[in-house]
Structures are given as C-alpha cells and as structure tokens.
Amino acid sequence: MDQQEPRPAHSRKLLLLIKILVVEDHPDSREILTAQLRNMGYHVVEATTGEEGIEKAQVYLPDLIVMDLGLPGIKGIEATRRLKQNPATAHIPVIALTAWNEKDFREEAEKAGIVEFLTKPTPRSHLEATIDRFLKEK
C-alpha cells in the first residue's frame, strides 16, 4: 500500500459532503478501503451484499459507488444493472474494485453500467485519481 499525505484539513471538510458507498463483502478489504476513503476526506457508507448496496444507494444517494463484483447473493454486476434501471440512482457512477479478471467480465459489466475497473489491491494514488476523475464529471 502506498503512503501519501492526507489532504489538507480545509479540503477534507469540503469532501466530507461527498458520499461514497462501498459495497464489499470481505471485512478486511472493506475496512482497508473505507479507511483509505475516510483518510482522503470522504463520507463513507458501507454495504456487505448487493442487496444491501442497492438499498443503501436508494436511501443515501451517494455521489459514487465502489462495488465488488464477487458479492454473495446478487453479484456486483447485477446490483449495478438494477441501480442503473432506477431513475433515482441511474446517475451514480459505479467503479468496480475486484480481484476478478476484468477481461472475463468487462463487456458484461460495462453493459450493466460500470464505468471503471480497478483490480485489488489498487494503490491509493490510483484509487484517488480514479474517484476524482468521476466526481469531476458529475
């Protein structure tokens, strides 16, 4: 994991208004990702299944979703498809963060509405740059 200085305090205060939903079933991965995002200054909402991710997206309307693909129950691709079919959540960018081989799932995932693939483990700098890119597009 690469080490970077946290964003300045004034920048973190502004970012706390930005909500990111993390949908990840593995506790260690979720804890690390959540800590990274909070350290970057984001408000983080957590979900452990595709179903819970859909519910929390509808309730919290996050600015961005980081979705594992290999979830129990509804997989990340199907959860994304359902989010994109709902007018209330269709606008939310979904980034896949997964250990799966992206070549096998890229086409199906893109059709479902996933905007970017990140492979675990992703360096913090790459994660931050990807998130920033999609938040600027909003």
Residue 8 lies in a domain: no
Is 82 within a domain? yes
Distance between CA atoms of 62 and 105, rounded to whole angstroms?
24
Q: How far apart are CA 107 and CA 2, in angstroms?
A: 30
Contact criterion met (CB below 8 Å) for 92 and 25: no
Instruction: Let me know if residue 21 belongs to a domain.
Output: no
pLDDT at 10: 40
Number of domains in the chain: 1
Question: Which residue in this structure is represented by tokens 């997206």?
Answer: 57
Please check whether residue 105 is in contact with residue 69, taking contact to mean a CB–CB distance below 8 angstroms.
Answer: yes
- Nearest Cα neighbor of 81 from 24, 89, 130, 25 is 89
Residue 40 lies in a domain: yes
Residue 77 lies in a domain: yes
Tokens linked to 45: 């909402």
| pLDDT given for residue 138 in this prediction | 59
* Angle at CA of residue 126, ends 78 and 26, nearest 5°: 45
Residue 17 lies in a domain: no
Quick check: is 120 in a domain? yes
pLDDT in tens, 31-65: 999 999 999 989 999 999 999 999 999 999 999 99
Domain containing residue 72: CATH number: 3.40.50.2300
d(CA 84, CA 27): 26
Distance CA 86, CA 99 (A): 27
Query: Is residue 10 a part of any domain in this protein?
Result: no
| pLDDT for the residue 81 | 97
Domain of residue 62, residue span: 26-129
Low-confidence ranges of the chain (pLDDT < 70): 1-16, 101-104, 137-138
What pLDDT score was predicted for residue 102? 61
